[in-house]
With several copies, the nearest count.
Chain A
Amino acid sequence: MAKRELTSAELTLLKRAAREVRHGMVVNLGIGLPQFLPEHLPADTDVTFHSENGFVGMGEGNPEGTPDSDVIDAGGRACRVVPGAAFFDSLTSFAIVRGGNLDLAVLGAFEVSVSGDLANWKIPGKLTPGMGGGMELAQKANHVLVISHHLDKRGRGKLVPQCSLPLTAPACVGTLITERAVFRRVDGRMQLASVHPDFDRESALEGIDADVPSAENLEPWEDKS
């Protein structure tokens, strides 16, 4: 869907994230890493992709397209649609999101707090592109899955005690998946839910300057099959 070489860490977290997507779901993919998710889904998983600029049934990227093509995704890239796709306007697009018909939003993040707050739209003075549809996706998708590298360039984990950046939405992240671990919000608090076989609990919490409890029973990383 998107064009660039993925690192092995990215491949790892994308494969794990693909396991969160269930047959029949309506899914919105944020710009960036989430756009690589479709190629990691099992072939028999029927997922309907929502593009907030105005359609459901988004298919593959259109290599013959240009930014002037009649079908572009929310990031401005030409793409295709699958049979059964429907085009609509921005009203219907966000009615789907706010009305509870978007099963899953897969988003990137600058910070996720231990209470599930998400900051991914603004770095004051540095990055001020506007929230676009991000606040609604974060606040209203039935489940919000954040995928991200475990550590940022300065070695800090994405999971923080409290977001220092402006929030996209409070208490919205249901699941955070990195190349090392899966965290899930349970009773309003993120907890460690699964650890990649190459890591132990300690390294799954590396760079996280907060008290993160572990689930009573960790989920296996890989499918049993």
Chain B
Amino acid sequence: MLDRVTTVENAVAGYVRSGQTLMVGGFGRGGVPFTTLHLIANHADKYRDLTLIKNDANEPGIGIDLLLKQGQVKKLIATHIGLNPEFIRQMNDGEVECELIPQGIFAEKIRAGGAGIPAIMTDIGLGTEVAQGKATYELDGKTLLIEPCMRGDVALVCADIADKAGNAWWCGSNRNMCVVMGTACKRVIVEAKQIVETGRLKAEDIHLPSVFVDAVVPAGPLPHRGN
């Protein structure tokens, strides 16, 4: 297996560009690639006009909020932004475009992108404003919404353990959107809290296989924990 370990500087410089669509893992703080996001925020001039696909908007001062408040993001596609009142203000003031999608359908649209499924049909959101303006299809007498897949240029996720080849494993509730995002982008950067020799993870227990991964980078200390 290839050794995909590199520095976060190399990985970001190699794959991330202004104008791209980035998928960012995490739900709450678990799975959020804080180290990679911090680097991108530290080069606010270099990485702009980004479209972010992320479950939530993080809390003020951490994670993607660093990019949001510096104006690096033109659009956020998310499911819930309730923990970031500052971003809600940005959204309501029209500073940043925000598209909200029901959480499971958000995950399914990403999965479809990763699995080569151009679109799925769903009844989720029928009879609500989520359905407005969406194409529909009649299947067996039932109206369904057509939800096209989502793909990204680069996925940024944080795993608990990765091997050098890029196989990754998540602890507890940290997995959330990370695995599916790792399947749906041209490039995948796995930030790992622990990096082990290839072959150390049990092959049956790997959550994201290395064939999806382009770079493994060590996670640094959590900036918001002051350590």
The residues of A with any CB-CB pair to B shorter than 8 Å are 24, 26, 46, 48, 50-57, 67-74, 76, 81-101, 125, 128-136, 139-140, 166-171
Contacts and interface: CB of A to CB of B under 8 A. Distances in A.
Interface stretch (B42-50, B100-108, B134-142): B100-108
Given A87-B204, A130-B78, A95 B114 contact: yes
Contact of A53 (B27, B92, B116, B167): B27
Contacts of A26: 211
**Most chain B CB inside 10 Å of its own CB: which residue of A48, A139, A170:** A139
A54 B207 CA distance: 13
B82 to A, nearest CB: 3
A99 B174 contact: no
Contacts, number: 200
A50 B211 contact: yes
Given A53-B28, A90-B55, 8 more contacts: A57-B203, A69-B30, A76-B28, A84-B1, A89-B176, A99-B114, A128-B91, A136-B104
Interface of B: 1-2, 27-30, 55-56, 59, 78-83, 88, 91-92, 100, 102-108, 111, 113-117, 123-130, 160, 163, 165, 167, 170-180, 183-184, 198-199, 203-204, 206-207, 209-212, 222, 225
Given A57-B1, A89-B180, A129-B80, A136 B103 contact: yes
B220 to A, nearest CB: 14
Given A98-B116, A99-B116, A130-B82, A90 B180 contact: yes
A48 B211 CA distance: 8
Contacts of A136: 102-105, 124
Contacts of B171: 70
B165 A55 contact: no
A86 B167 contact: yes
Contacts of A166: 128-129
A91 B107 contact: yes
Contacts of B114: 95, 99
The 8 closest A-B pairs by CB, nearest first: A98-B116, A94-B104, A83-B199, A129-B82, A84-B1, A70-B172, A132-B80, A86-B209
